[in-house]
Amino acid sequence: MKILSASQIRELDKLTISHKPISSIDLMETAACECVKWILQNLSTQNFTILAGRGNNGGDGLAIARLLHNQGKEVEVFWIENSPQISIDCQINHERLPKEIPITLLNAQNCNLHIPAESVCIDAIFGVGLSRPLEGWLADLLKKINNLPNLKIAIDIPSGMYADQPQPAESTIFRANYTLTFHQAKLNMLLPQTGNFAGKIAVLDIGLLKEYEREMPCNYFLLSENLVKSWYQERLPRPIFAHKGTFGHSLLVAGSLGKGGASILAAKACLLAGTGLLTLLVPPCNYSPLQTAVPEAMLLLSSAQNYIRNDNHDFSSFKAVGVGCGIGLHEETQVFLKNLLQKAQAPLVLDADALNILAQNPDWLSLLPVNSILTPHPKEFERLAGSWQNDHEALEKQTAFAQKYHCFVLFKGAYSRIATPQGKIFFNPTGNPAMATGGMGDVLAGIITALLAQGYSPEKALCIGVYAHGLAGDLAQQKRNAIAITPTMLLEELPIAFAKLSVS
């Protein structure tokens, strides 16, 4: 799914209106109907307060107010004088409001409002066209609303948020529990600085013409369930006469003294993600726990008791190599990694301490084999690429890094994003805050390595792996309704996640 800019969305609106054909007021009615349908399906609330501006976003809000009223809901409207002019469609929906709906005008002279605690607050003040920070009474009004305990819903985009431009850090933005956005998520909803204001995002189809969207240039994409399923199923079903050699031999280089758990988590994930064979290169201090916890794995032992040493093992038989989980930063381990980069014949997944070693030895980045996969969290990426002032600069750094070193860079976090050497960015919609526990990255590294070993391209292995990892995390959280889940809990759900991707 493409993530279009605000200007492209406006152009797609115009093309839909001129070619469908449908009037702009009817398109607005469709959007309002979809919002009300979502509200009725997901909320049992009877009381709603609509905050409507004077542009087309306000027109959406006024139409929602009318439709909710027609469903027997108690509705109140605050019509906010956020512009000296009223859009034509907003004016039409203002005239369509039933007289039974109380409506209060708010402006700089009168911005007092009272919203009952039981009322759902719906924000339809500013739309995707906003390009400057809110100031004065409008900013004060949003701050006051944000401090209220009410459930809050933003229509299309939270007021005060830019759609696709860098946002000043001090910006005042409506803090929504849910954002009901039209056609697709907007870029700033998926980035850390602004995304927290969007809450949970529901994408509503309002019938914009997709054939025109296909022609629009775009580098940003949101992974969809259908796309990930289609990629995963390219290598399904498994042949009847398949054997363990059919699905690749993975090597995981993991663990050191006190960090053997990282190798166990990565190994279990690699096996559950479908690798046919798994070998672990580990220091002897981790030997007994691994033989007990992961009896399915074969072991290669480092000649150093507590860390990985460069012992010149032959890695030519492996189809994919994952390196870095818990390996530490010992000087001899660093020599091992440099040697691996220089001699690697199989696709590489570099995680955790492998990335920290590269950050300490930036000249070695030129040794990265083409199409290597790097999986940093934000701090690890900062060590590799330098700091940034805002999320858009971080995006630019991630894209430039992937292109410069002809590699794939997975920037982990909410809406984890994947940069390709071709300049594309894929955002992942699965996953949840309960997954913010140590060891989740080790599981993900094992999954991606297994998919590479089975023959998926680096791009598809990354997209499938990140999506399945987040989906398993969602299943684990939903089953337990837990504030936090462990990697072990996620591993229990991983086969179910892959089973869901196996079904069209």
Instruction: State yes or no: 159 annotated in a binding site.
Output: yes
Q: Where would I find the beta strands (DSSP E) of 91-141?
A: 103-106, 120-124
Half-sphere exposure of 356 (CA within 13 A, CB side): 13
Both tokens of residue 134? 């809110």
| Separation of alpha carbons 161 and 195, rounded Å | 9
Instruction: State yes or no: 441 annotated in a binding site.
Output: yes
Closest CA to 432 of 492, 381, 485: 485
Instruction: State yes or no: 377 annotated in a binding site.
Output: yes
Half-sphere exposure of 298 (CA within 13 A, CB side): 10
Residue 368 DSSP label: P
Instruction: State yes or no: 438 annotated in a binding site.
Output: no
Instruction: State yes or no: 57 annotated in a binding site.
Output: yes
Instruction: State yes or no: 132 annotated in a binding site.
Output: yes
Quick one: 180 exposed, middle or buried, by C-beta within 10 A (0-12, 13-18, 19+)?
buried
Instruction: State yes or no: 56 annotated in a binding site.
Output: yes
Which residues make beta-bridge pairs with 300?
Answer: 281
Instruction: State yes or no: 414 annotated in a binding site.
Output: yes
Instruction: State yes or no: 474 annotated in a binding site.
Output: no
Cis preceding linkage at 421, omega within 30 = no
Instruction: State yes or no: 60 annotated in a binding site.
Output: yes
Instruction: State yes or no: 262 annotated in a binding site.
Output: yes
Instruction: State yes or no: 26 annotated in a binding site.
Output: no
Coil/strand/helix, residue 501: helix
| Separation of alpha carbons 469 and 466, rounded Å | 5
Instruction: State yes or no: 55 annotated in a binding site.
Output: no
| Separation of alpha carbons 415 and 198, rounded Å | 13
Instruction: State yes or no: 168 annotated in a binding site.
Output: no
Instruction: State yes or no: 487 annotated in a binding site.
Output: no
3-state secondary structure 181-216: EECCCCHHHHCHHHHCCCCEEEEECCCCCHHHHCCC
Instruction: State yes or no: 465 annotated in a binding site.
Output: no
Instruction: State yes or no: 311 annotated in a binding site.
Output: no
Closest CA to 460 of 414, 403, 501: 501
Instruction: State yes or no: 72 annotated in a binding site.
Output: no
Q: Where would I find the beta strands (DSSP E) of 15-73?
A: 47-52
| Separation of alpha carbons 113 and 81, rounded Å | 14
Q: What are phi and psi of 81, to 5 degrees?
A: -80, 70
Instruction: State yes or no: 370 annotated in a binding site.
Output: no
Annotated binding residues, written as ranges, equal: 56-60, 123, 127-133, 156, 159, 262, 326, 377, 412-416, 441-442
Annotated binding residues for (6S)-NADPHX, written as ranges, equal: 56-60, 127-133, 156, 262, 326, 377, 442
Annotated binding residues for K(+), written as ranges, equal: 57, 123, 159
Annotated binding residues for AMP, written as ranges, equal: 412-416, 441
